[in-house]
Chains A and B, each alone.
Chain A
Amino acid sequence: MTANILAAAAALITFGFVFFLLRRGALREKYAVLWLFFSGAALFFAVFPGAIIWLSRILGVAQPVNLLFFVTVVLLVLVSVQLSYELSRHEMRIRRLAEEVALLRDEISEIRRDRDGN
């Protein structure tokens, strides 16, 4: 029973922290929603541990805890891949912006030269 309280507390803290970040505008909704959903699900299974046992019986997993670990690992891997994807996209965009900045700076200095020179 204490283990359930611990799990529920951890889920609640996560939920609260993400909610706090979201309110402060430090986290965008598309990421926050994901974490809110995860911590919500964790809270649900902490309060109703019977649900996990029932689920693992349906899926044929002998140890309910293994189902929990398996699902958790899969979800975390998916999130990491998504973050890598977003990061790559941002690197590409930043590179494009850097190139544009370089060319614009050159154009501006040329315009200045023409204006001041003649």
Chain B
Amino acid sequence: MPSNKTLIAIPAWNEAGSIAKVVASVKEHRPDADILVVNDGSTDSTAQEAQESGARVVSLPFNVGVGGAMRTAFLYAQREGYQALVQVDADGQHDPADLDRLIEGLKESDIVVGTRFHPESMYFVGGPRRWAMVLLSKALSWMNKGTISDPTSGFRSAGPKAIELFAIEYPADYLGDTVGSLSIAIRQGLVVHEAPVTMYFRQVGRPSKNALWSALYLGRATLAILVTGLKSNRTPREDAS
């Protein structure tokens, strides 16, 4: 089995419109890496498209959310002995050109979070959503004793220690797969760094952007931070298989 290989994990739920393109461009940038698409109970042709574009496809029997899809990927990486895992979104928002930077960063850290907030970034959010992100960023940076400017980013890499940890525990709640997982890693003493990445606008589908949704997001973000901050370090019995 590949001992020094990198696994690119792409959680996908009904992304038939973009998955083939994403797999192809990841392949183009990192021909040396293996690609695993975790099909999270899609009802469209996501699995088939991914398979045909040359990725390995693992299909969950029903939709479990990004957290469950990612834990499946971490379990796979752990069992197959991968030393690095990079999570890439299936909707084509992430630029595979940034993969190198995220993988390189693992030499000095256990997790590298791709941040969409940096001087050259075109990415912008406003309103309550912005406040929520600032709040989350402040809280996690404080926990980490080092800046994490974009804790909700789904473009990130994990080294061997993080793979071990996340194969056992990876939260499935809302924001748990991004903010919650980072909080768990920091509390376990893992080193978390960040690296600037490019963010494309969604290729298919559109992000929700109304006021009510934003307010809800702020509330849930606060809850997520409180819950992960106060959570006991003990892994739940049923989770530690």
Contacts and interface: CB of A to CB of B under 8 A. Distances in A.
B64 interface: yes
A96 B60 contact: no
B59 A96 contact: no
B68 A106 contact: no
B241 A102 contact: no
A92 B79 CA distance: 21
A99 B60 contact: yes
Interface residues of A, number: 12
A103 B236 contact: no
B220 interface: no
A92 B62 contact: no
Contacts, number: 43
A99 B78 CA distance: 13
Nearest to B63: A98
A92 B238 CA distance: 7
Majority secondary structure of chain B interface residues (helix, strand, loop or mixed): mixed
B58 A106 contact: yes
B75 A103 contact: yes
B61 A101 contact: yes
Contacts of A103: 58, 72, 75-76, 79
Nearest to B74: A99
B38 interface: yes
B38 A102 contact: yes
A62 to B, nearest CB: 40
Interface string B53-72: 00011111110100010011
B60 A102 contact: yes
Contacts of A92: 236, 238-239
Given A105-B58, A106-B56, 9 more contacts: A92-B236, A98-B62, A98-B64, A101-B61, A102-B38, A103-B58, A103-B76, A105-B59, A106-B57
18 contacts: A89-B238, A95-B64, A95-B71, A95-B172, A96-B241, A98-B64, A98-B68, A99-B71, A99-B72, A101-B60, A101-B61, A102-B38, A102-B58, A102-B72, A103-B58, A103-B72, A105-B58, A106-B59
Interface of A: 89, 92-93, 95-96, 98-99, 101-103, 105-106
